[in-house]
Amino acid sequence: MSNNLISIIVPCYNQGQFLDETLLSVFNQTYANWECIIVNDGSKDNTKEIAENWIKKDSRYKYFDKENGGLSSARNLGLENVKGDFIQFLDSDDCIEKTKFEKSLNELKSSKNTDVKVVVSNFRMFTDNINNTSEPYCNLNAEVLSFENLLYNWDESFTIPIHCALFDSSLFNKFRFPEHLKSKEDWVMWVSLFHNNCKGIFINETLAFYRINSASMTKTKDMLPDFIKAYEHFKFFLTEEEYFNFSVLLISRFYRANTSLKYRLRITKESNTYQTGLLIKKVLKKMRVLKLAKHFFPTILKLKSK
């Protein structure tokens, strides 16, 4: 597999401050036969300027500009233009370890299972300094790479950052990311691929770095609408039995979560602290200074926190 071309797809939207570091992690790869497709999804920052600097530096970088359509549409444009035997997705604020391609291809080459189409590595997290990382937010292992786990346990016990994986490009001959989803599109991808009997192997090494970005969509957007849309999308390719079992599981999950929330709320209301607060509120209301207290209380809390 030493001559296989790897196509990296980097969708970009207003993440210019991180893009240099992301593209540098591609440039530093010990495996040299790659192309990097940068898709600017209507950014209003300096993304285009940064991308053009890398194109001038190395012809393996390619640049595409499009109107803003979302992450899925940017990835799909990349998929329409790849030439590689393998595909690496890499969001514009994340990074990959310099031996990721080399180790992933070696793992595929040494695998006894010729049906393996995906290599997934472990990851660590960072904020500003990639040399200062923290433990991953979930525990990845070989067991998560099954259709059942990906469908039933996603978001419950794990998710897989998409740049942890190196995919055989044949997996995307028919699959495209659903563009009506603004999130959970990666979940749909994993379930769809493994529903079609895709097989994967796991490398328990840190070959991907996930940036903790407070401005990212997952931190600022309500994910429930897209979760429901993803649930509806699964109906297009799951069997009737699979979809029924999946529906039952989700109902059970949300019921447990609701029950747990009600229990914690009841315990809170029964606590001494809560009851004391109610008593103080009644006293202030009786003294007709409740509105005045509401005005000054936030200020007192701010002073206390300093």
Q: CB within 8 A of 82, min separation 6: which ones?
A: 7, 9, 35, 37, 169
- Number of continuous H segments (helices) and E segments (strands) in the chain: 11, 8
> How many angstroms separate the CA atoms of 223 and 202, rounded?
28
Report the C-alpha gap between 129 and 268 in whole angstroms.
39
Alpha helices for 179-271 (secondary structure H): 185-195, 217-220, 224-234, 240-270
- pLDDT computed for residue 188 by the predictor: 97
Burial 168-201 (b: 16+ CB within 10 A, else e): bbebbeebebbeebebbbbbbbbbbbbbeebebb
Residues 6+ apart with CB under 8 A from 78: 7, 9, 10, 11, 37, 39, 64
Contact 78, 11 (CB under 8 A): yes
**At 142, which amino acid appears?**
A
pLDDT of residue 213: 82
Quote the pLDDT of residue 54: 98
In order of their start, the domains of the chain are 6-221 (3.90.550.10), 243-305 (no CATH)
Structure tokens at 47: 């993304």
Render each residue's pLDDT in the chain as its tens digit; 306 residues: 568 999 999 999 999 999 999 999 999 999 999 999 999 999 999 999 999 999 999 999 999 999 999 999 999 999 999 999 999 999 999 999 999 999 999 998 886 667 899 999 999 999 999 999 999 999 999 999 999 999 999 999 999 999 999 999 999 999 999 999 999 999 999 999 999 999 999 999 999 999 998 665 555 467 788 889 999 999 999 999 999 999 998 888 766 666 766 667 777 777 887 777 777 777 767 777 666 666 666 665 565 555
Residue appearing with tokens 């899925």? 72
How confident is the model at residue 96, as a pLDDT?
98
Cβ 35 vs Cβ 42: under 8 Å: no
Residue 202 amino acid letter: F
